[in-house]
Chains A and B, each alone.
Chain A
Amino acid sequence: MENELKQLIIDALDLEDISVADIDSDAPLFNDGLGLDSIDALELGLAIRKKYHVKIDAEKEDVVKIFSSVTTLANYIKSAQG
């Protein structure tokens, strides 16, 4: 799932110059790592909801932890899908 998720990130966020191999599963997605911002977080949340039918509720969930890397995001989606 990690690679599928990386491709989703690239497509949803128009990261034209980045390939799946460039994204480290455990590196931070926001700020220092991949350098995504808050609008990217919203866009990614929408893309995940569309593809995996998993809604990440910013009010209830620990979004900072969930969005911290590809690995944490994939784990959350897997657990939410049950």
Chain B
Amino acid sequence: MSDFILCNWNAWTPGLDFSDDRLMTSGNAAVPECVPKMLQRRLTPLARAVFNVAAPCVESGKNLPVVLSSAHGEICKSLDMLKTIQAGDEISPTAFSLSVHNAIAGLFSIAYGNSQEITVLAPGLEGIAPAFIEALGMLNEGANEVLMILYDEPLADFYPIAPFNLNVCFPCVLALRIALSGNGVPLQLYRNTQSRDDGEHPVQLLAFIKFLVAEERSLCLGNQGHSWTWHKK
């Protein structure tokens, strides 16, 4: 069991209908002005959304260690490149550099001059729990605060999904700032042995965003025999 404080959060989910200042639900995510011009052109819509939720979550000018978590990352870019190769054309070096799983983390560290520890996870069936475990590990090793960014966008129709529950039909991006003490919402994370079927990372991420804005005190997410409970104390 692990106790921690949710200091702040911001989310971008253009498919949810909740009224909460921390939740952006419409429009395209703009590029934050603090991002240098020459870097702005490299930001995909998903990267823009990540930058938009991460910026208000952290005190201006403060660089925290970061954990990013995404099942599919910029998979649409990878698919475009595969199509280019199939057509016999050469692929763009820029597109390649922006398609890798830590591309958004790289852009983020350059834009904000963040040289703290940054970890990028690609959890599937294990859902969103590994990101919390990683971030809690950093806190217990001495970090005062950790920024967590969880994101996924819909998969292209090209990919067969059935019978897996791993797709949401709109992008979900969530930034959380957590600490072991201080002001915020006290949360508890613990493992349980319930056999559940809550879908993979993108589906769990949407459920967690709903949990943040809802009245419910507890949320259990997992698959097969591995499940985790988040409890608002």
Chain B residues with CB under 8 Å of A13's CB are 41, 94
Contacting residue for A46 out of B38, B41, B92, B97, CB 8 A: B92
The reply to whether B41 and A15 form a contact with Cβ atoms under 8 Å apart is: yes
B38 in complex: contacting residue of A35, A42, A43, A49, CB < 8 Å: A35
Interface digits, A1-29 against B, CB 8 Å rule (1 contact, 0 not)?
Answer: 00000000000011111000000000000
B233 at the interface (CB under 8 A from A): no
Tell me the nearest residue of chain A to B89, going by C-beta.
A50
- Do B37 and A46 have beta carbons less than 8 Å apart? no
Known: A14-B41, A16-B41, A17-B37. Contact between A39 and B90, CB under 8 A? no
**From residue 26 to 60 of chain A, which have CB atoms closer than 8 A to chain B?**
35-37, 39-40, 42-43, 46, 49-50
Cβ of B27 within 8 Å of any chain A Cβ, yes or no, is: no
- Chain B residues positioned under 8 Å from A40 (CB to CB): 94
A50 and B93 in contact, given A15-B41, A35-B38 (Cβ under 8 angstroms):
no
The distance in angstroms between the C-alpha atoms of A46 and B95, with both chains bound, is 12
Neighbouring A residues of B94 by C-beta, 8 Å: 13, 39-40, 42-43
Q: B75-100 interface mask toward A, CB cutoff 8 Å, 1 = contact, 0 = none? A: 00000000000000010111001000
CA distance A16 to B43 in the complex (A): 13
B90 contacts A50, CB within 8 Å? yes
* Closest residue of A by beta carbon distance from B41: A14
Please give the distance in Å from A22's CB to the nearest CB on chain B.
12
A40 to B94, CA, bound (A): 7
- Report Cα–Cα, A36/B37, bound state, in Å: 11
A39 to B103, CA, bound (A): 13
- Nearest B residue to A46 via CB reads B90
Chain A residue with minimal CB distance to B39?
Answer: A37
Chain B residues, CB < 8 A from A43: 92-94
Q: How far is the CA of A40 from the CA of B93 in the complex (A)?
A: 8
Further contacts, 13 of them, CB under 8 A, given A39-B93, A49-B90: A13-B94, A17-B37, A36-B38, A37-B38, A39-B94, A39-B97, A40-B94, A42-B93, A42-B94, A43-B92, A43-B94, A46-B90, A50-B90
23 A–B contacts, CB within 8 A, in A order: A13-B41, A13-B94, A14-B41, A15-B41, A16-B41, A17-B37, A35-B38, A36-B38, A37-B38, A39-B93, A39-B94, A39-B97, A40-B94, A42-B93, A42-B94, A43-B92, A43-B93, A43-B94, A46-B90, A46-B92, A46-B93, A49-B90, A50-B90
Binding site for A on B (CB under 8 A): 37-38, 41, 90, 92-94, 97
Closest 3 A/B residue pairs (Cβ): A42-B93, A14-B41, A43-B94
Residues of A within 8 A of B (CB): 13-17, 35-37, 39-40, 42-43, 46, 49-50
